[in-house]
Amino acid sequence: MPGTNLTQAEAAARSALLQITTYDVTLDLTTGPDTFVSTSRITFTATTPGSSTFADLVGATNVSATLNGLPLDASAYADSRLALDGLADTNELVVTADMAYSHTGEGLHRFVDPVDEKVYLYSQMEVPDARRVFASFEQPDLKATFTFHVTAPEGWAVFSNSPTPVPTSLGDGNARWDFAVTKRMSTYITAIVAGEYVGVEDSYVGKNGTIPLGLYSRASAREHMDVDSLFTLTKQGFELFEDLFDYPYPFGKYDQFFVPEFNAGAMENAGAVTIRDEYIPASRQPRSFYDFRTNMILHEMAHQWFGDLVTMKWWNDLWLNESFAEWAGYYAAANATEFTDAWTGFTNARKLSGYRQDQLITTHPIAPEIKDLHDIEVNFDMITYAKGASALKQLVAWVGMEPFTIGLRAYFRDHAYGNTEFKDLLGALEKASGRDLSTWAEEWLQTSGVNTVRPEFTLNADGTYASLTIHQSAAPEHPTLRRHRMGVGLFDLVEGSLVRRTTIEVDVEGGLTEVAEAVGKKQPDLLLLNDEDLAYVKVRLDERSYATAVAHLSKLDDSLARALIWTAAWDMCRDGELPTSDYIDLVLANIGQETDSWGLSRIPVLAESALFGYVSPDKLPELQDRWEAGVRELLVAAEPGSDAQLIFAKTYAAATDTARGSIHGCMRGERTIADVKALLDGSWTLPGLTVDQDLRWRFITGLCAAGAFGEAEISAELERDTTQSGKENAAGARAASPDPTVKAEAWRLATMDPATPNATGESIANEFSRAGQPALDGYVHAYLDAAETILDKVGTHRAARALEYIFPRQLATQANLDVIDKWLASTTASAMAVRYVREGRDELARAMRAQQA
């Protein structure tokens, strides 16, 4: 039985048979806290009269349906499908059903704010979850127009893809909102947002007219919404995109809703974007937070054209939607906002995630084959986002920005409100650039893995290059050697600063590429391949360049060049080519002067993960000691009120984990615990450091991870912080505890209990593996047991989050690898669960190799 799955073959057959004309959807949200009533009236044509098909409907009860006025038998609805036989040329399907509110973020999610008991609903339809809200033909290429009617309590605010109409009072405390018909769109970008939302409105006036704008949130979060900056960013995005795409914004108005317990970062519903409400923070955040939020908001805006106006035919081109929006978000941030260094942040953080994903055993091509909906669950990751965006950045460098723009504009004009495949975009770009891009597409989109480049050179007696060659290699299991356009940067020490002397642009192809222009040039103090970060490739530093980086990286004034060096060092550490102690030394010596906020935020996290993953147990105590002492010095020396001070305070809070260092023989953990307690209670103050609620929870979680705090301190903090965020942080703090009983309960909540709210489960998963090896003993077996059943118990999104983050990565032993291998050889778990187990095993094996090195 198909269940909630849908194959590409089934979708293609249904698309060949049907053309959907209209949806008229009525939702009654007044029937109680558990269910709502949904009525869909769908008009469509069939190319073959008398044929059969099916509509999609998940989790419905009390279903009644008519096709062309005739009632369907109750047996027609089974296994999440409604069988439709004897189709006419023109058809009308009417389906009424009771539908369940979601508490897992799929379909129509319902949330009650613990602060004031106000109710908030929002829909999440992607990938195939419109069918949890109304009967539909759930696939992206069956576009239609939609008319929504919503009955809700009279005091509520109700929104959809069309502008919000004046509601009609029904006289019983309820009202009805009748929305205007939408543009033609796919089911997955339709939206309903309803509840006691509050907000503010504005408008953008551009070359194509006026776009009404709205920002909305929960009432308890409204005071934290930085309205002016959000509207400014939104207007900057529209100005750039309407000019870049040369196509008017397609959907009339543009609302952005900051909603609770959201699974993703945001969702590009046409004209009604939903965003995690963590992005209107109650506490101070570093610049990297706002950098990422900027990209995310611009990412969703780019989708209004690329994804919503022009939509992929089937989910195998979902990569293109997301890769393009990722590239466009960073491009817009760098060219239209205050975050002119957005590409530096991309290199320091986002791109690293792509590199990691691409080196796991589960790597896949950017454009994978998607045979059915289940394939999306295992092929939608940082390869889709970060590697895909990097490939597009390389493509722009390859064909030139102007031809790329001309091709995009033609693509939007030719396919507006339609569906496409990648070949349609490729054809537009080929026509605009005059270049055959088929081989580029083959080597970049249809192969897996990341190449590595390293310099090889000989010197003349006077210290000039006699030769300089770029050596390109690939992992044996993914042997493709790709073409790369990249810069070769030559940097010299000049009066204590690292200064770029020149950059040589070169096209790298095959195993060896001669850099003829370098011959005769003086050897620099630092040679940097992939200067300007045009290519997606791992870079190695020669011995002289690495020594320069350790001593002088902070003296290099180009933030993107620094990011490339940070990335190269991290890759060398992960691959066992650079001792972890050397990487730690590089970080401690230079991170205090780093000016890129993403570098500041991300690099200490990487260093800590290397410390507890890649260091052999016998060497760990001494290196822990250096790390804790170094982070404390960085914190004390940081400029008062700076991002660096805030980030190092959070890093020091995480270092309380090393109180478990007594297990390894390190005694400094006790001092760290005392320091963090003193920062928390105010007996130690640092000028400029405000210990707000977010930072308090960071300190408390760190102290719980060390075993220094427990339920008494968590409960006391919950009396201070009665928000939903407080509950989520408390759950994370408990999960960090080494107490076996507390840890077991956190495990149950995250992996077995369907009633655990989304964000609470996420907080538990994020913190669970902090407490050190003794507290995690046995959880490899528990993890494997959970992987067998977690999907059925807690749903797709919660299961994915738990399986990805809760894996006990610190248990890197051959015995645990053997246990995992035995499980993999015999399991019947879902493909998604198997994927995360394989990735966890891969990380354990890498840690063991690094420890041995």
Residue closest to 847 by CA, chosen among 817, 826, 805: 817
Compute the average pLDDT of residues 687-694.
96
Compute the average pLDDT of residues 39-60.
98
- Using pLDDT thresholds of 50, 70 and 90, give the confidence band for residue 852: confident
Q: Which CATH superfamily is domain 8-196 in?
A: tricorn interacting facor f3 domain (2.60.40.1730)
**What is each CA distance from 819 to 164, 616, 788, 837, 838, in whole angstroms?**
56, 21, 15, 11, 12
Sorted by sequence, the CB contacts under 8 Å of residue 572 that are 6+ apart come out as 540, 541, 578, 583
For the ranges 528-532, 606-610, 613-617, 708-712, the lowest mean pLDDT is seen at 613-617
The predicted model scores a pTM of 0.96
Q: Residue 830 is encoded by which pair of tokens?
A: 């879902």
- Cα–Cα dist 255/265, whole Å: 16
- Cα–Cα dist 247/447, whole Å: 33
Q: Residue 752 is encoded by which pair of tokens?
A: 């077995």
What are the tens digits of pLDDT across the range 443-495?
999 999 999 999 999 999 999 999 999 999 999 999 999 999 999 999 999 99
Give catalytic residues, as residue numbers.
300
Listed by start position, the domains of the chain span 8-196, 579-690, 740-853
**Hey, how many other C-beta atoms are within 10 angstroms of the C-beta on 788?**
14
Computed on alpha carbons and rounded to an integer, the radius of gyration of the chain in Å comes to 28
DSSP string for residues in 127-184: TTTGGGTS-B--STTS-BEEEEEEEEETT-EEEESSPPPPPEE-SSSEEEEEPPPPPS
Residue with tokens 């379909």: 107
Q: Which residues, in sequence order, are bridge partners of residue 206?
A: 209
Q: Which three-class secondary structure state does DSSP give residue 314? A: coil
- CA 381, distance to chain mean position in Å, is 8
Residue closest to 564 by CA, chosen among 360, 345, 328: 345
Q: Is the distance from CB of 779 to CB of 809 less than 8 angstroms?
A: no
Compute the average pLDDT of residues 320-337.
97
Q: Is the distance from CB of 51 to CB of 83 less than 8 angstroms?
A: no
- Using pLDDT thresholds of 50, 70 and 90, give the confidence band for residue 775: confident
Angle (CA) 760 764 767, round 5°: 140
For the ranges 201-210, 451-460, 613-622, 638-647, the lowest mean pLDDT is seen at 613-622
- Using pLDDT thresholds of 50, 70 and 90, give the confidence band for residue 642: very high
pLDDT of residue 662: 38
Show the DSSP H helices in 448-555 as ranges. Answer: 543-552
DSSP string for residues in 650-703: HHHHHGGGGGGGGGTT--THHHHHHHHHHHHHTSS--TT----HHHHHHHHHHH
Residue 538 or 665, more confident = 538
Kindly state the percentage of the chain with pLDDT values over 70: 98
Burial class (CB in 10 A: 0-12, 13-18, 19+), 852: exposed
Phi first, then psi: give them for residue 4, nearest 5 degrees.
-90, 5
- Using pLDDT thresholds of 50, 70 and 90, give the confidence band for residue 774: confident
Residue closest to 782 by CA, chosen among 795, 769, 766: 769
**Hey, how many other C-beta atoms are within 10 angstroms of the C-beta on 226?**
15
Residue type, 12: A
Strands (E), 188-318: 192-195, 198-206, 209-217, 254-259, 266-267, 272-276, 311-312
How confident is the prediction for the chain on average, in pLDDT?
Answer: 94
Q: Residue 269 is encoded by which pair of tokens?
A: 């519903």
Helix (H) or strand (E) holding 585: helix 580-590
pLDDT of residue 665: 38
pLDDT of residue 773: 62
Q: Is the distance from CB of 93 to CB of 67 less than 8 angstroms?
A: yes
Residue 1 or 829, more confident = 829
Task: Output helix, strand, coil percentages for the chain, rounded to the nearest 5.
Answer: 45, 20, 30
Compute the average pLDDT of residues 412-429.
96
List, edge to edge, every strand of the sheet that includes 484-494: 497-508, 484-494, 526-531
Helix (H) or strand (E) holding 491: strand 484-494
DSSP string for residues in 394-431: HHHHHH-HHHHHHHHHHHHHHHTTSEE-HHHHHHHHHH
DSSP string for residues in 520-534: TSBPPSEEEEEET--
Residue closest to 283 by CA, chosen among 695, 852, 677: 695
Residue with tokens 């409100």: 417
Q: Residue 689 is encoded by which pair of tokens?
A: 């450091």
With b meaning 16 or more CB within 10 Å and e meaning fewer, what string describes 15-45?
A: bebbebebbbbbbbbbeeeebbbbbbbbebe
Q: Is the distance from CB of 793 to CB of 751 less than 8 angstroms?
A: yes
For the ranges 291-300, 376-385, 387-396, 745-754, the lowest mean pLDDT is seen at 376-385
Whether the per-residue pLDDT at 396 is higher than 70: the answer is yes
pLDDT of residue 811: 84
Phi first, then psi: give them for residue 664, nearest 5 degrees.
-95, -5
Q: Residue 799 is encoded by which pair of tokens?
A: 């299961």
pLDDT of residue 188: 98
Residue type, 815: A
- Using pLDDT thresholds of 50, 70 and 90, give the confidence band for residue 771: low
pLDDT of residue 618: 87
**Hey, how many other C-beta atoms are within 10 angstroms of the C-beta on 359?**
19
- CA 110, distance to chain mean position in Å, is 23
